[in-house]
A and B are shown apart, each in its own frame.
Chain A
Amino acid sequence: MRFDAYHPIINFIYFISVIVCTLTFDHPIYISVAYVVMFAYYIKLRGVKGIKIGFSLIAFAIVYTVIYASYNHFGVTILGQNNIGNNITLESIVYGLSVGIRAITVMMTLGCAFQIITKDKVVYVFGRISPKLSLFIAILFRSVPRVGVRSKAIDIGRKGIGKSFSQGNILSRIRNVISSTSSVVGWTIEDFIDTSSSMKSRGYSLRGRTAYSLYSFDNRDRLFLIVMIFFMVTLWGAWALDYTNIYYDPKIIMPKPGGVDVWLFVAYAGLLIMPLLSEIFSEKRFRHSLDIY
Chain B
Amino acid sequence: MALFEIKNLSFSYPDYEDNPVLKSVNFNINQGEFITLCGKSGSGKTTLLKHLKTVLTPYGKRTGEILYKGNRLEDVDLRTQSSEIGYVMQNPDNQIVTDKVWHELAFGLESLGTPQDIMRLRVAEMASYFGIQGWFHRDVADLSGGQKQLLNLASIMAMQPKVLILDEPTSQLDPIAASDFLNTIKKINRELGTTIIITEHRLEDILSASDRVIVMDKGSVVADDAPAGIGEHLKTISSDMFEAMPTPVKIYYEVEKNGVCPLTVRDGRKWLSESFEGKDIKVSKVEEKSFDLEEVTNPVLHLKELWFRYEKNGEDILKGTNLKVKSNTIHTIVGGNGTGKSTTLKAICNICKPYRGKILIQGKAIDKYKSGELFNGMLAMLPQNPQCLFVKKTVREDLLEMIGKRDDTRILDEVVRDCQIESLLSAHPFDLSGGEQQRVALAKVLLTNPKILLLDEPTKGMDSIFKIQFADILNRLKDRGVTIVMVSHDVEFCARYADCVSMFFDGGIITSNTPHRFFVENSFYTTAANRMSRHIFDNAITNEDVIELCRKNQ
Contact = CB atoms under 8 A, between A and B. Distances in A.
Interface string B76-106: 0011001100010101011111111011001
26 contacts: A142-B96, A142-B141, A153-B385, A157-B385, A158-B388, A159-B349, A160-B346, A160-B375, A161-B381, A161-B444, A168-B372, A179-B391, A180-B391, A191-B91, A191-B93, A194-B94, A198-B96, A198-B152, A199-B107, A200-B55, A203-B79, A208-B113, A209-B110, A210-B110, A212-B103, A212-B110
Closest 9 CB pairs between A and B? A162-B375, A157-B388, A203-B82, A160-B381, A212-B106, A194-B94, A203-B111, A141-B99, A208-B113
Residue with the highest number of chain A CB atoms closer than 10 Å, among B97, B137, B374, B444? B97
Contact of B78 (A167, A191, A206, A210): A206
Interface string A228-251: 000000000000000000000000
A141 B108 CA distance: 18
A190 B386 CA distance: 14
A197 B55 contact: yes
A202 B103 contact: no
B114 interface: yes
A83 interface: no
Interface in A131-147: 131, 135, 138-139, 141-142, 145-146
A182 interface: yes
A203 B55 CA distance: 9
A160 B93 contact: no
Interface stretch (B115-123, B226-234, B249-257): B115-123
B113 A210 contact: yes
B140 interface: yes
B97 A139 contact: yes
A76 B444 CA distance: 77
A119 interface: yes
A176 B389 CA distance: 11
Contacts of A205: 78
Interface residues of A, number: 52
Interface in A39-67: none
A191 B94 contact: yes
Residue with the highest number of chain A CB atoms closer than 10 Å, among B78, B93, B95, B99? B99
Contact of B95 (A159, A167, A194, A204): A194
A103 interface: no
A197 B46 CA distance: 14
A131 to B, nearest CB: 6
Contacts of A198: 89, 94-97, 152
A156 interface: yes
B53 interface: yes
A203 B83 contact: yes
Nearest to B389: A157
B547 interface: no
Interface residues of chain A: helix, strand, loop or mixed (majority): helix
Interface in A186-201: 186-187, 190-191, 194-195, 197-201
Interface string A149-181: 100011011111111000110000000000110
Contact of A145 (B141, B349, B380): B141
Contacts of B123: 212
Contacts of A191: 91, 93-94
Nearest to A186: B430
B97 A162 contact: no
A293 B455 CA distance: 57
A213 interface: yes
Given A160-B380, A160-B383, A200-B56, A139 B113 contact: no
Contacts of A183: 388, 390-391
Contacts of A211: 110
Nearest to B386: A157
B523 interface: no
Given A138-B100, A139-B97, A179-B401, A206 B79 contact: yes
A217 to B, nearest CB: 12
Interface in B10-57: 53, 55-56
Given A186-B391, A210-B116, 13 more contacts: A138-B100, A141-B98, A156-B383, A157-B389, A161-B375, A161-B444, A162-B374, A163-B401, A179-B392, A183-B390, A198-B96, A206-B112, A210-B113
Contact of A202 (B91, B93, B108, B346): B108
B155 A202 contact: yes
B500 interface: no
Given A200-B55, A209-B110, A119 B388 contact: no
Given A141-B99, A210-B116, A161 B380 contact: yes
Nearest to B373: A162
Contacts of B244: none
Contact of B99 (A142, A154, A194, A197): A142
B207 interface: no
A21 interface: no
B156 interface: yes
Contacts of A149: 141
B313 interface: no
B239 to A, nearest CB: 31
A31 interface: no
Interface string B217-230: 00000000000000
B111 A195 contact: no
Interface in B46-79: 53, 55-56, 78-79
Contacts of A141: 98-99
Contacts of B140: 142
Contact of A203 (B78, B89, B351): B78
A200 to B, nearest CB: 4
B387 interface: yes
B388 A154 contact: yes
B55 A201 contact: yes
A120 interface: yes
A292 interface: no
Nearest to B350: A159
Contacts of B55: 197, 200-201
Nearest to A138: B98
A214 interface: yes
Contacts of A207: 113
Contacts of A182: 391
A154 B387 CA distance: 8
A127 B427 CA distance: 43
Nearest to B112: A203
A149 B137 CA distance: 21
A123 interface: yes
A153 B383 contact: yes
A110 B123 CA distance: 33
A120 B101 CA distance: 11
A127 to B, nearest CB: 9
Contact of A156 (B156, B159, B346, B390): B346
A119 B139 CA distance: 10
A123 B103 contact: yes
Interface string B434-472: 000000000011001000001000000000000000000
A207 B112 CA distance: 8
